Amino acid sequence: MITKTNYEREEAKIERHITALYNAPLSPHYPYHNLAHTKMVVRYSQMIATFYNLGRPENFTLTAAAWFHDIGQIFGSMLFHEEASVKMWNEFAEKTTISSAVRQQVSQCILATKFPPSPSSLLEKIICDADTFHFGTVYFRETDALVKKELEIRTNEKVSDWIRKSIDLLQSHRFYTEYCQALLDNGKLNNIHWLQTLLKNEEPDS
């Protein structure tokens, strides 16, 4: 069973493991679902966890889930990558001192990010908000193009009407923690307005 003294040791192992997988020569290097995105989700998870003053076990659960939440993207389909991520997490955790209860919590947090998300616990809400944190920041204006590029690479098809689809995504999205709602809802609204301006400029004059 994991103890208070080795949380950092286990987190370091997880970071090295995931970093090696993303950086492996034979792994696909996608424009958006990559190590940089994963590190960002880890950082946002820890930021939100700090606001809620979560204990060390809960913080570890979130950190582990954040590191593993998208790793299935490089080994399987987009549609079922969360299930692949959970499988890889459990294979990793079996070789550690992490308890079965914590392993299950991490698995639930990973699966909570599956679209459309349906988080129930605070930990699940935090990981979902960390995963989409950029929706409420100006960084979305970079990632939106990266997601489109990646989708076209992975499907080998051109994506049509992308701006409208991005607007629909942001309008249907919600942050689940009060912290992120207060911090990011206005930024998300600004991004919707930005997209609507792009769409208007793209449309021919009637």
Residue 16 has φ and ψ, to the nearest 5°, of: -65, -40
How many whole angstroms separate alpha carbon 69 and alpha carbon 90? 12
- Give the number of other CB atoms < 10 A from CB of residue 27: 16
User: In the structure encoding, which two tokens stand for residue 139, read together?
Assistant: 């960084």
Q: Are 149 and 31 in contact (CB under 8 A)?
A: yes
Q: What is the pTM of this model?
A: 0.94
Q: Are 109 and 62 in contact (CB under 8 A)?
A: yes
pLDDT at 97: 86
Q: Are 74 and 27 in contact (CB under 8 A)?
A: yes
pLDDT at 118: 87
Residue 27 has φ and ψ, to the nearest 5°, of: -75, 140
In 8-50, DSSP assigns E strands to none
The architecture CATH gives domain 1-116: Orthogonal Bundle (1.10)
Indicate where the chain has its CATH 1.10.3210.10 domain(s): 1-116
pLDDT at 15: 98
At 128-142, the pLDDT tens digits run 999 999 999 999 999
Low-confidence ranges of the chain (pLDDT < 70): 1-5, 203-206
How many whole angstroms separate alpha carbon 100 and alpha carbon 108? 12
How many whole angstroms separate alpha carbon 149 and alpha carbon 136? 21
- Give the number of other CB atoms < 10 A from CB of residue 101: 11
Residue 57: C-alpha distances to residues 4, 49, 53, 105, 180 (Å): 8, 11, 12, 11, 22
pLDDT at 78: 86
